[in-house]
Amino acid sequence: MQLNHAQRELTLKIVYYGPGLSGKTTNLRHLHARASPEVRGRLLTVETHDDRTLFFDLLPVFFSTSAGFKVKVKLFTVPGQVIHNATRRIVLQGADAVVFIADSRHSATAENNAYWRNLQDNMKENGLDVEQVPVVIQFNKRDLPDARTEAELEEARKRGGEEVVGAVALRGEGVLETFHAVARAAYRRLDARAHLARNVALTEQEFLAQIFGRMDLSGTALAGRYTGVGRDDQVGGGR
C-alpha cells in the first residue's frame, strides 16, 4: 500500500498468481470488459508467440472518494512459466493481497501445489508475511471433466484459512466474485493497519461500492448489491 497524505492518494496492489495457462490473464480481461471506462485504465499485456504472459498484465482500477482521496487499485498477473520465477518475485513485491488461480483438474494437483509453495517462498523473499497478506484461491476450469467436485472445494475451504471461489473464467463465471473477495480482504487488512475509515474517511462499503457500482455485475452472485453509486460521485484520479 502507498498512502500519500500530501497528494491525497492511496494505491493498492493485488497480484494474480498461479501456474501457466491457469487463467490469470483471462480473469483480468474479463474484469476489464465488465468495468466502466470511468474507473478502468488500459489493460497492458505483454505476450509471447504462444499467447502466454511473458512479463505481466496490469489493469488499474481507480476512483475518488467522497472525502477527495484518489484511490487506485492495481491488478497484476505474473508469468506462469517456471523459467520466469525472478519476474514473479519482482511483480509480487509490495502486494496487499493475492489471488491464487488454480486449475481445478485433478491432473493439475502437483503443479498447483508446486506453484503454491513457490508463492509462499517468493512472499517470504519479499518480506511479505504469509500469515497476514490475504490470499483468495480461485479454482478455475470447473467445466472440465476431470475437475474437482463441489464437495472437494468445500473440503479445501475447511482445510485452509483462505477464501475459495469456483470459476470458469473463459465464461466469466466466478471472476467478479473472486475480485470482490480479494478486494474486500485487501481493504480489511489495510484498514486494520492504517485505519482507512478513520484516517482517510474511506469505509469498506464505499471502497467496494465505488468499484463494483461501476462494473457490470449481471449474471453474477453480486448482481443488485451495488446500485447506489450515482453519476454525481467523483471518479477518476488518473491512470
Which of 41-50, 90-99, 124-133 shows the lowest mean pLDDT across its residues? 41-50
Question: In percent, how much of the chain has pLDDT > 70?
Answer: 89
At 128, the amino acid letter reads L
Q: What is the CATH number of domain 2-212?
A: 3.40.50.300
What the block records as the C-alpha cell of 53 is: 504472459
pLDDT average, residue stretch 144-153: 95
Determine the pLDDT at residue 117.
Answer: 97
pLDDT band at 233 (very low <50, low <70, confident <90, very high): very low
CA dihedral 174, 179, 182, 184 (to 10 degrees): -110
Mean pLDDT within 122-143: 96
Q: Which residues contact 202 (CB under 8 A, 6 or more apart)?
A: 10, 65, 67, 69, 71, 196
Answer whether residue 231 shows pLDDT above 90: no
Residue 55 is predicted with a pLDDT of 54
Please give the Cα distance from 81 to 20 (Å, whole number).
Answer: 5
Strands 70-77 and 9-17: parallel
pLDDT at residue number 151: 95
- Predicted confidence at residue 47, as pLDDT, reads 64
Query: C-alpha cell of 114?
Result: 508446486
pLDDT of residue 108: 97
Lowest mean pLDDT among 44-48, 126-130, 184-188: 44-48
Q: How far apart are CA 33 and CA 158, in angstroms?
A: 33
pLDDT at 204 over 80: yes
Rg of the Cα trace of the chain?
A: 17
What pLDDT does 161 receive? Answer: 83
Separation between Cα atoms, residue 12 and residue 10, nearest integer Å: 7
Predicted local distance difference test score (pLDDT) of residue 59: 82
pLDDT at 84 over 90: no
Give residue 238's pLDDT: 42
The confidence band for 56, taking pLDDT boundaries of 50, 70 and 90, is low
